[in-house]
Structure 1
Amino acid sequence: MKALAPHEADPNWFLLAKLLFGIALVIGAPFLVKPTISKYNEARQSANWPQTEAEITQSEVKTGQNRAKPAWTPVVSYRYSVDGKPYTSSKIAFRSFETPIPSHAEEVVEKYPVGSKHPVFYSPEDHSKAVLEKGTNWLVILALFFPLLFLAWGGYITYDNFIFLRARLSQPKKKKKKKRAQTSTTSSPNSALKRRRRRIRKNQDGG
């Protein structure tokens, strides 16, 4: 957040770049509303999805990075069948299980070991959509506020950098003092020498 705030040492082009980034957040925020609400509705509807049995085919913890910090994600894949047709999925629930604490990811993997069988809930409209843990959770509900958060954050960045940049550009530019050519000092020895030569010539001509 501090990196996106205007600073006195920032050049104008960098302030403009941060201003444009803020504008992009403001413009992009409304586009997050539809997928966020859609995901919430699907999670809520999954509470009434039909159930079948699934077999876990993969269960492991993968290590990655999130904002240059280590992160651990449980990866669980399973297979199931509906009306005799086989399906596969790797969706545990309607939320992300990525965590900066490895033990939390390991707990999920231990809950779903390879070869174990668990209830799975699938969409009656699209049988390929399934989850091991149905319903909403606090993370899904919290995601509903993400578009509003992006809008507020982008608006703050845009306003802050715009006011700072406008104030800087409105300041009167300092006029550079032109260096006066010191012709008198540079030419005075030559002119004195010429006058002296003219006097000598006059004396010689007069003599």
Structure 2
Amino acid sequence: MELDVHDRITADPTPEDIVRAIDQRGDDPDWFINLSDDDGYVEAELERAGRFRLAYHSGKARFDAAETVDAAALKTIFLAYLNGNDGWRANRNWLRKASPAKAAEAAGEPPVWAIAAVVASLALIFVIAEVLPESWLEQLPFAGTTFGGILLIGLPMVVMVGAMIINAVLKVRRAKGWVQVQGRITLSKMAARRPPAGNEIGTLVNVPDVAYSFKVGGQDYRGTRVSLGDISGKYAEEAVARYPVGKMVTVFYDPADPETCVLEREAPKGAVKGCGLLLVVLALLAGGFYWAVTQGAEGLKASMPDADVPVMLFAALFGLAALLFVVAHRRYLARANAWPVTQGEIVSSVVEQRRSTENGRTRTTYLPVVEFAYTVAGNRLHSRQVKLGLEVSGSESFAQKIVDRYQAGTKVDVHYDPQDPSNAALENPTETKWILLGVALACFAIALYASRIFR
């Protein structure tokens, strides 16, 4: 046996060594403890004060505990492992560690081919704009026209939406050939998916933490995927309610690899609705721009021969979009100010740095990363929105003041959307984004200038 405590190794450890290491762990977030032998290991990492993430390796695969443990339970498990007793494994839900590719798919990350397609579309813009000879460009449809430029700029967005749809269709078609078997829900609760370690600045997403067990060929398997797509927010809460602990369920699994399994083979309704809405918006924008630069432009040119029609149309449409956004935002704020309030607690509160480079100069801003937890309808949810819809950043002293105001352990009032409780904030802003109103007015002024009606 070998005991590794935060890179301090002890050969042939005693029970006293294990107890002392756990009792004297301190508050270092990188602290870990590992007890290994020739057949595998058991290890734990400090998650927060008094709680630990637990895992073990059987010699063939790694398994992570579905829930954290406290110091007392951690001592019991490590002492049992030291004595060769593996009974502690049966008392907890264990999730077999997936391969990086499977883990990325389960988390809703796009496949490599989809990312490559979007990158290729961006490269195509550069090739058309900078590399292709003029004689070749003249052969392309809409070459040299305003509509052609708009199509080229919108190409990556179209490719991205198309890749999302194709990926969802491929998943559904592949899963149609899977085998089904009866299983049982062993874990069902909400969980928070945080940004990767070392990149705490990012979106925190509430997801369903659902686990189920089933047998194939007399062998036990465990799964954690509910749907073929990513489920978050209100759809996650619906999934937790749909699959309570102990419920018998139908599990669909790949006969070539039973660890690839899911409870729902159809595409998640949230993804279908989102893709459909995005397609409608893109189609309306494309149709509107096409009409504007063809029939609309010709009509305006006939009635306003001195006007710079492409500039006038683009500025007017952009200004209209900004104005509509301002109106929609004001309506959203009006509804948000009537949201219900529940009590929550600050889980963590730190200042993070963000560096950006502009014109060869590095600029550093500081963001207060304040995470809080709250409970709605029996679900424990997490969020990092200090001000609703706004990213709070500035100088280090500014960020530190917010962190000091929301220290870990502080009880706070949480405003949440009753239609989607995962959308919550500590403060509801009441001010309108007047800068967008200024952008809209500036665009209308440019459109008016390009019309030349006052010349």
Deviations 1:131-173 (A, max 9, x none): 222x443xx2x32x4554232100222333554xxx9xxxxxx
- Aligned residue for 2:388? 94
Q: Does 1:152 align with 2:441?
A: yes
Distance 1:28 1:127 in 2: 29
Residues 94-103 or 66-75, more deviating: 66-75
Matched residue, 2:402:
108
Residue 35 of structure 1 pairs with residue 328 of structure 2:
yes
Distance 1:162 1:131 in 2: 44
In structure 1, the residue corresponding to 2:371 is in which secondary structure?
Answer: strand
Question: Does 1:23 find its partner at 2:316?
Answer: yes
Contact 2:373 2:381 in 1 (8 A): yes
Contact 1:55–1:80 (CA<8 Å) still a contact in 2? Answer: no
What's the CA shift string for 1:43-62, capped at 9, x where partnerless?
Answer: 3213xx23222232353333
> Which consecutive residues of structure 1, in runs of 5 or more, have no partner in the other structure?
1-12, 168-207
Q: Bigger CA drift: 74-83 or 93-102?
A: 93-102
2:423 equivalent to 1:129: yes
Deviates more, 1:94-103 or 1:147-156: 94-103
Taking only the aligned residue pairs, the percentage that are identical comes to 19
Would the aligned equivalents of 1:59 and 1:112 in 2 still touch at CA under 8 Å?
no
Give the corresponding residue for 1:7.
none
Amino acid in structure 2 at the alignment position of 1:54: E
- One-letter code of the match for 1:50? V
CA deviation profile, 1:73-119 (whole Å, cap 9, x unmatched): 22212222223211111111235353443311121122223344433
Structure whose CA Rg is larger: 1
Distance 1:77 1:61, change over 3 A: same
Structure 2 counterpart of 1:74: 368
Tell me the TM-score normalized by structure 1: 0.53
Q: Identify the range of structure 1 (101-110 vs 58-67) with the bigger mean alpha-carbon deviation.
A: 58-67
Instruction: Tell me which amino acid in the other structure corresponds to 1:36.
Output: H
1:84 aligns with 2:375: no
Which one has a larger percent strand, Structure 1 or Structure 2?
Answer: 2
Mapped contact 1:18–1:161 kept (Cα < 8 A): yes
Give 3-state SS (helix, strand or coil) of 1:52's partner: strand
One-letter amino acid of the counterpart of residue 318, structure 2: L
SS at match of 1:127: strand
2:341 to 45, 50, 62: 50
Conserved 8 A contact 2:353-2:364: no
CA distance in 2 between counterparts of 1:39 and 1:88 reads 21
Q: Distance in 1 between matches of 2:374 and 2:403?
A: 19
In 2, Cα distance between equivalents of 1:50 and 1:65 = 36
CA contact (8 A) 1:50 1:121 kept: yes
> What amino acid maps onto 2:413 in structure 1?
P
Q: Which amino acid aligns with 1:113?
A: Q
8 Å CA contact 1:74–1:98 kept in 2: the answer is yes
Structure 2 portions without partners, runs of 5+ = 1-145, 147-307
* Aligned counterparts of 2:357 and 2:319: Cα–Cα separation in 1: 24
Q: What is the TM-score of this pair, normalised by structure 2?
A: 0.27
Determine the C-alpha separation between the residues in 2 that align with 1:113 and 1:107.
Answer: 10
Deviation string for 1:163-202 (max 9, x for gaps)?
Answer: 4xxx9xxxxxxxxxxxxxxxxxxxxxxxxxxxxxxxxxxx
Q: Which residue identity is paired with 2:365?
A: A
